[in-house]
Amino acid sequence: MNNIQLAHGSGGQAMQQLINSLFMEAFANPWLAEQEDQARLELAQLTAEGDRLAFS
């Protein structure tokens, strides 16, 4: 990819192409390969000692 255009910020096919051709190759790792867009937290581990956990 030679340049980045406004279309790459739209969240559509152009963005997917940018992610696949640039970021997936540059930052290749198992977590990124899943292409998830959220965080996964082990709640049992976070609250094992009775701690409170809040989301906003």
* DSSP character string of the chain: -----GGGGSSSHHHHHHIIIIIHHHT--HHHHT---S----HHHHTTTS------
H/E run at residue 25: helix 24-26
Domain boundaries in the chain? 1-35
2's tokens? 């030679």
Considering the chain, what is the average pLDDT of its residues?
84
Q: What is the pLDDT of residue 13?
A: 92
Instruction: Give the mean pLDDT of 5-16.
Output: 90
What is the pLDDT confidence band of residue 46, given thresholds at 50, 70 and 90? Answer: confident
What is the pLDDT confidence band of residue 41, given thresholds at 50, 70 and 90? Answer: confident
